[in-house]
């Protein structure tokens, strides 16, 4: 059996001490070990920002691309080689500002990729700017008088757009987060894991303490049914999206299952050459 250490490389993360992202990195490594994913078959794509560096701290194939585009890169990888386990990760700016459109389309496209959002409701690496997930009145260098824009609610947005797996984790709830990531990877289709991952340097509002007081743990809610769409929506509304656990899951065919036979080869294994007969047949169409 693999252990968490197998997915850990010797690079020291450049995150601030106490950053929530350490916990997300560890949870992903433990989840990969629990699922015994061969590390050469694990690909982690990330966007830009503090969260973007996560792919560089995994002993796996890592792809640190451009801002907001971890999802299209991840989808291209999965479509190219369906035998790989593909994780996309990024921050709240990555997934809900510059890359929001990709998030919505990844949800409706339902390619089997797990998307982990390291959500700290602030732009940290630019040294403190407001994020589309920052709450109203949040003061930063780019919102000196307090943000007046309403924050996006990732859970409701994903649920409304037909996501087949939506979960929320919290950096301080390590065991729950590991369990969520394991199940998200196992889910056949697109899975969204929104993790409250506090920024200890630039977000003095949404702190560990703040989350500890506000978050409702769905695992402790008696009889919470993760297959109940209406209940999921109600829960998100009632908790103002401040809940953790698997919020909603629904089994369905993933994109690749819908466009290819189960027995189809991964694109990486295809014969690239056409036979002369095939070529003649294709050419005949133009006559």
Partner 1 sequence: MKKNISIMIGGVQGEGVVSTGMNLMKTFSSLGYYTYGNRNFSSRIKGGNTTFTIHIDIEKIAAVSDSVDILLAMDLDTIDKYMHLLNQDGMIIYDSDLKPDIPIVKALKILPLPITTLCKGLGAPTMKSTAAIAYIGRLLSMPMDILSSSIRRRYGKKGDDIVAKNLEILAAVYENQDFSWQMLQLQLLSPQTAITRGVMMGNDAIALGALSAGCRFIASYPITPASEIMEYLGKHLPNYGGMMLQVEDEIAAVTAIIGAAYSGVRSMTATSGPGISLMLEGIGLAGMAEIPIVIVDAQRSGPSTGLPTKHEQSDLFTLYYGGHGEYPAIILSPSTIEDCFYETQRAFNLADIYQCPVILLSDLTLSLSPQTIDNLDLNKVSLDRGKLVTEMPQENTPEAFNRYQLTSDGISPRAIPGVKGGIHHVTGLEHNEMGRPKDDPINRRSMMDKRMKKTLSLDEVKEIEIFSNSNSTLFLTFGSCFGVLKAAAEASGNAVDYGKINRIKPLPRKELEAYFNSYEKIVIVENNYNGQLSKIIKSELDCHNKLRSFVKYDGNPFTIEEIIKEMGGAY
What angle, 0 to 180 degrees and rounded to 10, lies between the N-to-C axes of helices 70-80 and 100-109?
Answer: 30
Site for partner 1 in 37-56 (CB under 8 A): 38-41, 43, 45, 53, 55-56
Interstrand relation of 122-123 and 129-130 (parallel, antiparallel or unpaired): antiparallel
For tokens 């977000």, name the residue. Answer: 203
CB of 73 to partner 1, least distance (A): 4
For tokens 């991952």, name the residue. Answer: 197
Q: Under the criterion CB under 8 A, does residue 60 sit at the interface with partner 1?
A: yes
- Between CA 191 and CA 225 the distance in angstroms is 17
Beta bridge partners of 88: 45, 115
- Between CA 234 and CA 239 the distance in angstroms is 8
Q: Which is nearer to partner 1, 76 or 128 (CB)?
A: 76
Q: Which is nearer to partner 1, 205 or 282 (CB)?
A: 282
Site for partner 1 in 239-278 (CB under 8 A): 259-260, 264-265, 267-268, 270, 272-274, 276
CB of 242 to partner 1, least distance (A): 30
Q: For 145, list phi and psi in degrees, rounded to 5.
A: -100, 10
In this structure, how many other beta carbons lie within 10 angstroms of the beta carbon of residue 183?
A: 18
Query: Among 21, 69, 183, 187, which residue sits at the site for partner 1 (rule: CB under 8 A)?
Result: 69
Site for partner 1 in 100-119 (CB under 8 A): 101-102, 104-105
CB of 5 to partner 1, least distance (A): 11
- Residue 266: exposure state from Cβ atoms within 10 A (0-12, 13-18, ≥19): middle
Run of H or E including 81: none
CB of 206 to partner 1, least distance (A): 28
Question: Using an 8 Å Cβ cutoff, are 150 and 142 in contact?
Answer: no
Return the closest-CA partner of residue 69 out of 101, 28, 23.
101
Return the closest-CA partner of residue 21 out of 89, 73, 85, 77.
89
Q: How far is CA 15 from the centre of its chain?
A: 19
Site for partner 1 in 125-154 (CB under 8 A): none
CB of 81 to partner 1, least distance (A): 5
Query: Among 3, 18, 36, 83, which residue sits at the site for partner 1 (rule: CB under 8 A)?
Result: 83
Q: Which is nearer to partner 1, 152 or 172 (CB)?
A: 152
CB of 197 to partner 1, least distance (A): 21
Compute how many residues bind partner 1; rule: CB under 8 A.
54
Query: Among 37, 77, 185, 195, which residue sits at the site for partner 1 (rule: CB under 8 A)?
Result: 77
CB of 272 to partner 1, least distance (A): 3
Binding footprint of partner 1 on the chain (CB under 8 A): 9-11, 38-41, 43, 45, 53, 55-56, 59-66, 69, 72-81, 83-84, 101-102, 104-105, 259-260, 264-265, 267-268, 270, 272-274, 276, 279, 282-284, 286-287
């Amino acid at each position: 059996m693999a252990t968490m250490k197998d997915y850990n490389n010797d690079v020291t993360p450049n995150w601030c001490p106490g950053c929530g992202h350490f916990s997300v990195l560890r949870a992903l490594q433990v989840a990969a070990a629990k699922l015994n994913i061969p590390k050469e078959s694990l690909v982690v794509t990330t966007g830009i920002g503090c969260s973007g560096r996560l792919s560089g701290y995994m002993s796996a194939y890592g792809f640190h691309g451009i801002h907001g585009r971890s999802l299209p890169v991840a989808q291209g990888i999965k479509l190219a080689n369906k035998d790989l386990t593909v994780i996309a990760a990024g921050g709240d700016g990555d997934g809900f500002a510059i890359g929001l459109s990709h998030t919505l389309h990844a949800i409706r496209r339902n390619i089997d990729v797990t998307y982990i959002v390291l959500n700290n409701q602030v732009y940290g690496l630019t040294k403190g700017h407001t994020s589309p997930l920052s709450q109203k009145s949040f003061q930063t260098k780019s919102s000196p008088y307090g943000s007046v824009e309403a924050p996006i609610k990732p859970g409701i947005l994903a649920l409304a757009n037909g996501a087949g797996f939506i979960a929320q984790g919290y950096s301080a709830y390590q065991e729950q987060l590991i369990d969520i990531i394991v199940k998200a990877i196992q889910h056949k289709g697109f899975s969204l894991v929104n993790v409250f991952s506090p920024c200890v340097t630039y977000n003095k509002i949404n702190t560990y303490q703040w989350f500890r007081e506000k978050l409702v743990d769905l695992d402790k809610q008696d009889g919470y049914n993760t297959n109940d769409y209406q209940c999921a929506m109600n829960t998100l509304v009632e908790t103002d999206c401040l809940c953790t656990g698997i919020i909603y899951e629904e089994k369905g065919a993933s994109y690749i299952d819908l466009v290819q036979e189960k027995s189809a080869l991964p694109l990486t294994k295809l014969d690239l050459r056409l036979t002369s007969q095939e070529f003649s047949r294709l050419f005949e169409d133009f006559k």
